[in-house]
Chains A and B, each alone.
Chain A
Amino acid sequence: MGRAEILASIARSAGLRPAADLPDLAGPWTSYGGSPRERREAFARAVEEAGGRCVVVASHAEVAERMEEATAVIPKPRCVSAVPGLGDSWETIQPSIGTDPSTLADIEWAVLPGAFGVAENGAVWVRGEALPHRALIVLPQRIALVLPADALVDHLHHAYARLRFEGRGFGSFLCGPSKTADIEQALVIGAHGARSLTVFLVETREPDA
């Protein structure tokens, strides 16, 4: 039916499309300084350009402090964390196959783990397995991503050299808050996803929780 017809149609004209080599993945890709510090600066600039904020902190404890400040409003909004060690006032959502995403709809702040960041564009790779539910990348009003300060790569080519897609799974590059320019090209931050995105680069590596 559809499949056979399509493959037959392709086969009929295959002679018109001579063999063409598959190019190599390697290339003259620009590095971002080469030193971790330059990479970090390029990354931070790219995050800001995308409408996000990039904050370098010394430890997870400092992340917790900053987040306390950010959420010190009354009444305290619903704040969840998928990153361990943020403190008792942070609700931890257990990964559960049965989580109904609509129960996540009233979350104001979510702190999520980032695997690594990309210096050329300010994107952070977020692994689905590290999230209690993948809706957490879009449902909360505000998002903070936490990743080690040395977990930065130069560009997307290095990013994909690092990523392994084996079998079922989900992952996403998040870059800045959600945005749109669909109304008269006027940039509006906060379309359907997060209204704000903060990236915390943590300098000391925490032992795995």
Chain B
Amino acid sequence: MKAARNETHASRAARFVGDEERARWHDGALWFVRERRDQAAARVPEWETLRQRAAAIKRHVLSDWATYLEQFEERAQSCGAVVHWASDAFEHNRIMLRLLRERRIERVVKSKSMLTEECGLNPFLERHGIAVVDSDLGERIVQLRNEPPSHIVLPAIHLRREDVGELFSEHLGTPPGLSDPEALTEAARQDLRGRFLAAQAGITGVNFAIAETGGIVVCTNEGNADLGTSIPPLHIASMGIEKLIPRAGDLGVFLRLLARSATGQAITAYTSHFHGPANRGELHIIIVDNGRSALAARPEQMDALACIRCGACLNTCPVFRRSGGHSYGAVIPGPIGSVIETARDPALHAGLPHACTLCGSCRDVCPVAIDLPSQLLAWRRQLVATGASDRTRDIAVGALGRLLASPRAYRAGGAFLRWALNWTPGWLERWIGTWLPTLRDRALPDAPGASFRARYARRRKTGIEHGSDATGGTRGPR
């Protein structure tokens, strides 16, 4: 379900919140995950130290990036892995296809990898006659629904159990009306077990790539990455160039942060470390750029490369919670998506940096301390400068800027507003509410008796606060 190019986050979000009940439910579901993160973080006294440490490690890697990439390649090769490099999504997909075709592979299982989503791998392989089954339960659900994941960690969080029940009844033959999560999960377990056993290759992402040892680490709760890589003889791992960490010991920092930030667990059920292939098996690692080195050339957004894809910023963001991942029209939604996807296609995603209230919550929960609000604000400035911004908004903000910059205009504007607030009849208020979202669900406030400036001046003169003022209003602030 590709979003139309003329749609924006705002227009899609308007539809999402139109279903008030579902929007409220989605909001609650994500906030629940945010709270679990809080509980887990609170149990680690050195949490802030870990965050700063993680940020410092990532910053160090980026400051000597080529060295670490080359070291990783050399060590991985000495473990028996084959290392490929792909500049972009197309190259990545072609390498995948070649590896599979060379071995006449037609059936592949895949565990969660946002990078492969980014590259559009599934549709590409399908077009070339290779069946890819997403094995993570949430990914499997959205795959059967033929839609993209709405969250980077919880792909099906936008769905109710009844939706999944209906879906499984159609595709897995479960009884219609069955919506119990345990029963549905059991059905998926049985179905996917057969697919794991029949798969000829397993594709995974990479949570962390260890430069000093040449190993890759894959974390899951379901065990699907391990099933997908221990049964078939071929394991292909796709990794972004920013997934490097220098030493195995750095995993102590990152693993302590990852699961707690993502779901509130101390650690995932499986944290598998692959150094080279299994006996009689093959391990191919595809190192992918696809815009990451370009992001590293943006001083105001390069810190976003520290992202460990935990999803905490999505869970906490009030805009994400109340608009859903599909409103962003990008592979990676939410605060982090709004930074990195805009880099990928500024024209298409110019609205995303505005899908933000600058509340700062994302910055507070980010395990690698990425200052997302500053990055989004920088984007706004950069987009206006390149003319990629929304014209209407630019005009309105420009006018507001001129008003605020002129003390006389500001005072006149304030006086007019205080008069208008008292004068505006109900029918006019309602009409304005039909095109001004701020007034849709709110009534206009009462006008203050006098401007702060006037009250302050009076107070200085007489030492007394006055409730009434010269413009005729009799109501004043309490």
Interface residues on chain A, number (Cβ under 8 Å): 80
Q: Are A25 and B221 in contact (CB under 8 A)?
A: no
Cβ contacts under 8 Å, A171 to chain B: 272-273
> A residues within 8 A CB of B91?
2
Q: Is B164 an interface residue (CB 8 A)?
A: yes
Chain B 32-57, CB within 8 Å of chain A: the 1/0 string? Answer: 11000000000011100110010011
Residue in contact with B270 in the complex, picked from A17, A155, A163, A193, CB distance below 8 Å: A193
Within residues 168 to 224 of chain B, which ones have a CB less than 8 A from any CB in chain A? 181-182, 184-186, 189, 192-193, 196-197, 210, 213, 215, 221-224
Asked if A16 and B296 make an inter-chain contact with CB atoms under 8 angstroms apart, the answer reads: yes
A/B interface sample: 16 pairs, CB < 8 A = A1-B85, A20-B59, A27-B53, A101-B230, A118-B267, A135-B231, A137-B226, A155-B252, A172-B270, A178-B223, A180-B185, A182-B138, A182-B155, A183-B159, A183-B181, A193-B222
Chain B residues lying within 8 Å of A186, measured Cβ to Cβ, are: 161, 181-182
Starting from the known contacts A139-B230, A190-B186, 8 additional A-B residue pairs (CB-CB under 8 Å) come to: A2-B91, A28-B49, A123-B267, A133-B230, A137-B270, A188-B185, A193-B222, A193-B227
Selected interface stretch from B274-282, B329-337, B376-384, B455-463: B274-282
Q: Are the C-beta atoms of A184 and B223 separated by less than 8 Å?
A: no
Chain A, Cβ-Cβ closest to B53: A23
**B79 proximity list for chain A (CB < 8 A):** 167-169
Is B433's CB within 8 Å of the partner chain A? no
What is the chain B residue whose CB lies nearest that of A157? Answer: B252
For the complex, give the distance between the alpha carbons of A176 and B267 in Å: 10
Please tell me if the beta carbons of A23 and B66 are within 8 angstroms of each other in the complex: no
Q: Are B249 and A6 in contact (CB under 8 A)?
A: no
Query: Is B274 a contact partner of A16 (Cβ separation < 8 A)?
Result: no
Question: For chain B residues 273-295, which have a beta carbon within 8 Å of chain A?
Answer: 273-280, 287, 289, 293-294
A165 touches B248 (CB 8 A): yes
Q: Are B65 and A170 neighbours in the complex by a CB distance under 8 Å?
A: no
Residues of A within 8 A of B (CB): 1-3, 5-7, 9-14, 16-23, 25, 27-30, 46, 49-50, 97-98, 101-102, 105, 118, 120-123, 128, 133-135, 137-139, 155-157, 159-161, 163, 165-186, 188, 190-194
Tell me the residues in window 68-91 of chain B with beta carbons closer than 8 Å to chain A beta carbons: 69-70, 78-80, 84-87, 91
In the bound complex, how far is the Cα of B219 from the Cα of A173, in angstroms? Answer: 9
Taking a contact as CB atoms under 8 Å apart, the answer to whether B189 and A138 are in contact is: no
Q: What 10 A-B pairs have minimum CB-CB distances, sorted nearest first?
A: A193-B223, A121-B266, A13-B297, A182-B138, A191-B222, A2-B85, A168-B276, A9-B293, A135-B230, A157-B252
- A25 nearest CB across to chain B (Å): 4
Cβ of B265 under 8 Å from chain A = yes
Find out whether the CB atom of A19 lies under 8 angstroms from the CB atom of B64.
Answer: yes
A174 touching B270 in the complex, CB below 8 Å, given contacts A10-B296, A160-B252: yes
Instruction: State A29–B252 Cα separation when bound (angstroms).
Output: 10
In the assembled complex, the CB of B291 is this many whole angstroms from the nearest CB of chain A, namely 10
Q: Which residues of B contact A165 (CB under 8 A)?
A: 210, 213, 215, 248, 273, 275
Q: Which residues of the other chain, B, contact A102 by a CB distance below 8 angstroms?
A: 197, 231
A191 touches B221 (CB 8 A): yes
Which DSSP category, helix, strand, loop or mixed, fits chain A's interface?
A: loop
A-B pairs with beta carbons under 8 A, tally: 267
Inter-chain contacts of B250 with A (CB < 8 A)? 25
Smallest beta-carbon distance B254→chain A, Å: 9
Task: Indicate if the CB atoms of A179 and B181 lie closer than 8 Å.
Answer: no
A17-B296 contact, Cβ under 8 Å, with A170-B273, A171-B273, A184-B29? yes
The answer to whether A6 and B293 have CB atoms under 8 Å apart is yes
Contacting residue for A122 out of B33, B263, B266, B276, CB 8 A: B266
Known interface pairs A23-B56, A25-B249, A134-B278; A191-B223 also in contact (CB < 8 Å): yes
Inter-chain CA distance A1–B85, complex, in Å, is: 8
- How far is it, in angstroms, between the C-alpha of A193 and the C-alpha of B270 when the chains are bound? 9
Q: Do A169 and B275 touch (CB < 8 A)?
A: yes
Residue of B46, B138, B196, B294 touching A9 (CB-CB under 8 A): B294
In this assembly, does B154 line the interface, its C-beta being within 8 Å of a C-beta of chain A? yes
> Which residues of A have CB within 8 Å of B84?
2
Other-chain contact of A46, B59, B62, B226, B266 (Cβ < 8 Å): B266
| Residues of A contacting B182 in the complex (Cβ-Cβ under 8 angstroms) | 186, 188
Closest to B280 in A: A97
Question: Which B residues touch A123, using CB under 8 A?
Answer: 266-267, 271
- With a 10 A CB-CB cut-off, give which of A1, A6, A135 has the most chain B CB atoms: A6
B276/A185 in contact, CB under 8 A: no
B302 is an interface residue with CB less than 8 A from chain A? yes
Residues of A within 8 A of B46 (CB): 27-30
B316 within 8 A of A: no
Q: Is B246 an interface residue (CB 8 A)?
A: yes
Docked CA distance A179–B269 (Å): 7
Also in contact, A121 and B267, with CB within 8 A (given A183-B164, A192-B196): yes
The answer to the question of B157 belonging to the interface, with a C-beta cut-off of 8 Å to chain A, is: yes
Find chain B residues with CB under 8 A from A28 CB: 46, 49
**Cα–Cα distance between A174 and B272 once the two chains are bound (Å):** 8
> Chain A residues near B32 (CB, 8 Å)?
185
Which listed residue, A6, A10, A25, A138, touches B226 by the CB 8 Å rule? A138
Measured between alpha carbons, how far is A97 from B45 in the docked complex, in Å?
45
